[in-house]
Amino acid sequence: MTRRVYRVWFQTIVLTAAMAVFLLISVSMFTVGDEWSRSDPFSLVLYSVIGVGSLFGIWLALRMGVVVDERGIRIRNFGRGRFIRWQDVAALSCEVYDVRLGFPLYAPVVRMAVPSEPSDAASVPLAALGSYRSRVAQRRTGALAALVPPQRTAPVAEAQNRHADDK
């Protein structure tokens, strides 16, 4: 199986642009700022922290998304990510995972066979593959289900058929 990366491009571009603004502010204070801001130790530390933090933020924003490979599904968020092994996947279905301004958001939802930790949720929505249109989310769920290794195909196919019967 080849590695596939799915990204939320709008969110990635907006976060990268916001972090780039902070980086620009930090760099401009070192180069264009007045003499006081370049000689004050607190200002030097503050602008350095802003610069390093914004570089780290740009790196996090550019790597956000869902990575699917032969080992499982890796969810990369702006903060903490998550890895789901294929043997932990009980089912994969397209469901409403959120409602924003009265509009439902559809996305593939991974049902866990057994959560690896007690604090883990029994179902994990893949928000990077989400859409306001159910047809688009169902197509993405089908594409993801096609990437599931053969030993896990039967439960995933059953869940998709059950979801199609509900509509």
Kindly state the percentage of the chain with pLDDT values over 70. Answer: 81
Instruction: Calculate the average pLDDT of the chain.
Output: 83
DSSP helix/strand/coil, 82: strand
Question: pLDDT value at position 119?
Answer: 56
Question: pLDDT value at position 139?
Answer: 92
For residue 111, give the nearest of 135, 95, 100 by alpha carbon: 95
For residue 142, give the nearest of 94, 97, 104 by alpha carbon: 94
Tens of pLDDT, residue by residue over 32-88, are 767 666 678 888 899 899 999 999 999 999 999 899 988 899 999 887 888 988 888
For 17, the enclosing helix (H) or strand (E) is helix 9-31
Structure tokens at 32: 């264009």
What's the whole-number mean pLDDT along residues 22-27? 92
Question: pLDDT value at position 50?
Answer: 95
Q: Look at residue 145 and tell me whether its pLDDT is greater than 70.
A: yes
Q: Which of 8-22, 109-123, 148-162 has the lowest mean pLDDT?
A: 148-162
Q: Look at residue 104 and tell me whether its pLDDT is greater than 90.
A: yes
Question: pLDDT value at position 117?
Answer: 62
Question: pLDDT value at position 115?
Answer: 63
Q: What is the pTM of this model?
A: 0.71
Contact 160, 148 (CB under 8 A): no
Question: pLDDT value at position 154?
Answer: 47
